[in-house]
Structure 1
Amino acid sequence: MAADMVLLTTGDPFAYDEVSYVAPDLTGLGDSVSKTDRFDKRSIAADIVELAHEHLGLGRFNLVGHDWGGGVAWAVAAHHPGHAKTLMLVDIAIPGDGNPNISQGGARWHHAFHNTIGLPEELITGREEIYLGWFYKNYCAMEDAISSDEIEKYICSYRRPPVLHAGFEYYRAVGQDVEDNSSRALQYRPDIPVLAIGGGKSWGRGSQVGESARRMADNVTEAIVEDAGHWIPEEQPEELANLIDGFYRTTYEKKSRAL
């Protein structure tokens, strides 16, 4: 249960060596507080746009999202066009992409469990290390890919009841996400460059990320991180960083040649 989003911003749109990285906690997670208790990705995308423009003073930005951060990143591009210059989705299938089940045919059994009102909070409170620790250990290509210290930092956040509840609310909003994204796709398909990155082993989504993105967007490039499961940022940080940097630079160079 994790959601990471990175805003990649440039002070000078023609100088890609000057890149700033901003990694906000998504609404309700980490140290971020939800003001509305709305966890559909379209609403959270509005929070990201507000953060970027009103609080950080950004113009257009490059956007990377992993897990539910990827769902929010997609919502920024689809429902708030004109803000993201490029979009990079990491091991996420887009809700509403036409696939009737983003849970891999039931393989991701926790999707349905987390969608149950109230029960996950009751069962997991006080047992966060057992339950959440299982995902951090088993959704990797190798069980020890994430250190025990890193796992403890993640779990420590979810020991706070509002954060644990918010984490489950991200799943409970999927029905709304499907409705929002599928209806939007009938009217608009983002034309910005999209990089779809999947983990190649264990619980990584592999080529499913690219397949999902191509159903919803037209300018999609696909990459597979072969020696990673779902937790690509923790398992293969250097390879992921190189993919992001390479995609950003290639996109910049193409635009520069077109000017």
Structure 2
Amino acid sequence: MRIDARGLTFDVRAGGPPDGAPVLLLHGFPQHSGEWDEVAATLHAAGLRTYALDQRGYSPGARPAAVADYRIPELVADAVAVLDTLGLDAVHLVGHDWGAIVAWALAAGHPERVRTLTAVSVPHPAAMAHALATDGQQKARSSYIALFRKPDKAEKVLLAWNATALRKMLTGVGDASRVDHYADPMREPGALTAALNWYRAMSRADLAAVGPVAVPTTYVWSDKDIAIGRTAAEACAAHATGDYRFVQLPGVSHWIPDAAPGPLSEAILARANGTA
């Protein structure tokens, strides 16, 4: 379906029983709502209704030009506006990668809209800040962000030679067709720039403004994540003040929804059903 909100048009993949408890699924970079396909199928079978949102910059109808249009408060406001348009007072919220950052901020700033939170791969921003300040390995893991924040250069590097670097980055999502599933949309005019604008608009002030999360929360992390190390993952607990569970997936890459949809679905269902 397409949702008109805040003067933009968002693509949303809806599925599952119409009367099921609602789940909002937020994807990360450089993917799209399709990363939730296998997870959503399991949630549907369990009776949940899912809404997988192609977020700002990823929906062709929601691709503003200014870098400032991609600040975290704008991304959170999009999600809230989509919930309003759908008539959903509160949802089980699930976010991966950048979608997790939006989810943390949404749960912290609008707890009345979030029944439960399952954050995948990326921890609370304050946990990440702690790791960057204390763990040299995390600084190295995050060094790619400096390139992503450089206009034009990042696009040239990632898209050169049939998007070789972008495709390499997606190693772990599955076979070549699965890599194409994510890489090909990023080659459309303006798409990669819009996605990279999330990094370019990111500021310490916006990240620091994300407060503690009081809603029931599960954080899912994989020990083969090249972007997020253990220091950041374990620091996450200090910023979830409600019921909290830390789920570690051994031997899984950063691309958890693609690489381990079964265990991730179990974690989401356990949290949504109140058994986590």
Same fold (TM over 0.5): yes
What amino acid is aligned across from residue 181 of structure 1 in structure 2? L
Judging changes above 3 Å, is the alpha-carbon distance between structure 1 residues 165 and 52 closer, same or farther for their aligned structure 2 residues?
Answer: same
Establish whether residue 49 from structure 1 lines up as the match of residue 86 from structure 2: no
Judging changes above 3 Å, is the alpha-carbon distance between structure 1 residues 47 and 183 closer, same or farther for their aligned structure 2 residues?
Answer: closer
Q: Distance in 1 between matches of 2:186 and 2:122?
A: 21
Q: Alpha-carbon deviation of 1:75?
A: 1.4
Normalising to structure 2: TM-score of the pair?
A: 0.74
- Partner in structure 1 of residue 24 of structure 2: none
Q: Any residues of structure 2 matched to 1:72-221 within 5 Å, and which?
A: 72-97=102-127, 98-99=129-130, 101=132, 104-127=138-161, 129-137=163-171, 140=172, 146-175=174-203, 178-185=204-211, 189-203=212-226, 205=228, 207-208=230-231, 210-219=233-242, 220-221=244-245
Question: After the TM superposition, which segments of 4 or more aligned residues of structure 1 sit over 6 Å from their partners?
Answer: none
Aligned residue-pair number: 233
Normalising to structure 1: TM-score of the pair?
A: 0.79
**Identity, % of aligned pairs?**
23
> Secondary structure in 2 aligned to 1:241?
helix
Query: Residues 22-44 of structure 1: CA distance to partner in whole angstroms, max 9, x if unpaired?
Result: 10111111545234741122211
- Partner in structure 1 of residue 273 of structure 2: 249
> Secondary structure in 2 aligned to 1:198?
strand
Q: CA RMSD in A?
A: 2.8
Answer whether contact 2:155 2:193 (CA < 8 A) is retained: yes
Answer whether contact 2:111 2:215 (CA < 8 A) is retained: no
Q: Distance in 1 between matches of 2:210 and 2:125?
A: 12
Answer whether contact 1:77 1:190 (CA < 8 A) is retained: yes
Answer whether contact 2:225 2:253 (CA < 8 A) is retained: yes
Q: Distance in 1 between matches of 2:177 and 2:152?
A: 29
Answer whether contact 2:125 2:210 (CA < 8 A) is retained: no
1:227 to 228, 236, 251: 251
Query: Residues 73-125 of structure 1: CA distance to partner in whole angstroms, max 9, x if unpaired?
Result: 11111223311111111000333444263982122332111012331123334
Q: Alpha-carbon deviation of 1:4?
A: 5.7
Q: Alpha-carbon deviation of 1:210?
A: 4.1
Answer whether contact 1:198 1:204 (CA < 8 A) is retained: no
